[in-house]
Amino acid sequence: MENFTKTPGWLDWHAAPSRPRFTLPPGSVDAHCHVFGPGDVFPYAPERKYTPCDASRHELFALRDHLGFARNVVVQATCHGDDNRAMVDALTHSAGRARGVATVRRSVTDTELEALNAAGVRGVRFNFVKRLVDFTPRDELLEIAQRIKHWGWHVVVYFEAVDLPELWDFFSALPTDVVVDHMGRPDVGKGVDSPEFALFLRFLREHPHVWSKVSCPERLSVSGPKAVDGEQHPYRDVVPFARCVVEQFPDRVLWGTDWPHPNLKDHMPDDGLLVDFIPHIARTQALQRKLLVDNPMRLYWPEEA
Ligand SMILES: O=C(O)c1cc(C(=O)O)oc(=O)c1
């Protein structure tokens, strides 16, 4: 059996996250999280770019309850390639409280898509972050998008801000809703008024079928987890970016923990503090309800929304 030794420098997820001070609205959805393995049951993909620590559905559901979420959207992580078994196993053991986003290749059969749909998958993920995946031809992705449209699914995309100009036309041509992971990874050091972030806002404005996750302040922040200058919250330099997206596109935003936080090298966030970040970016109860309940329910549980 393969020995899945963690990538050197890999940080384990926070063992004892604090209980959030912010009370989530009833029915809140953690709309971006992952499961990793366990590797001896659900092996990691041979083509993976990193080997994570195991992070099972048991631990994910315990975190959900600890933080006060009602539901999860489990997003296929690149370390599992297009082997969706760990993610599907989480969905099928969630008592209907988890939906999923899969990774599939052109070779996926209609029967396999049907089984994923029955398990609770509602989208596919296309990853353009070069440190995470090898290049996938655009014609293959377009073909997949056209096939999954039949199921009413959407496409989740992960890319770096500098690559948006080159990806713009491809995203415009997608025949489904498109959900952007982690705000399109803005370089917060360039500031909220930078041409790069202005382009992202224009992208959202000109494409009513595009949504954005306002997740991962811990990944994007330069100021980091320490509260300084009398501010009470970490990652304060990400606040203006996320606030701007939430306030301009309140009906097309989602939030997620990103647990278990793959590839963070300098610190591991306290997931309770991440939840406490939410009222800084969604400042009214109405915005918080859209972000955490109404929007994810419309996309992932439309039959109940
Ligand atoms: O920035 C990352 O390293 C990262 C990786 C993955 C993945 O490997 O799927 O997913 C994420 O949401 C974020």
52-94 pLDDT tens trace: 999 999 999 999 999 999 999 999 999 999 999 999 999 999 9
Distance CA 155, CA 30 (A): 18
| DSSP 8-state class, residue 53 | -
The pLDDT of residue 230: 57
ipTM higher than threshold 0.90: yes
Atom of ligand 1 nearest to the CA of 264: 3
Within 8 A by CB and 6+ apart from 249, the residues are 204, 211, 212
Cβ-Cβ contacts under 8 Å for 236 (sequence gap 6 or more): 221, 223, 227, 228, 280
HSE-CB at 145 with a 13 A cutoff on CA atoms is 22
What pLDDT, in 10s, does the model give residues 181-232? 999 999 999 999 999 999 999 999 999 999 999 999 999 999 888 865 555 6
Ligand 1 pocket: which of 50, 75, 132 to mutate (most atoms <8 Å of CB)? 132
| The two structure tokens encoding residue 73 | 């959207």
Closest by CA position to 168, among listed 141, 206, 132, 137: 206
Q: Is 0.90 topped by the overall pTM?
A: yes
> Which residue is associated with the tokens 């439309």?
302
The catalytic residue positions are 258
For residue 79, which atom of ligand 1 is closest to its CA? 8
- Å from CA of 215 to ligand 1 middle: 12
Can you read off the two tokens belonging to residue 171? 């995203």
Contact 30 CB / ligand 1 (< 6 Å): no
- CA 117 to ligand 1 center in whole angstroms: 23
Nearest atom in ligand 1 to 127's CA = 9
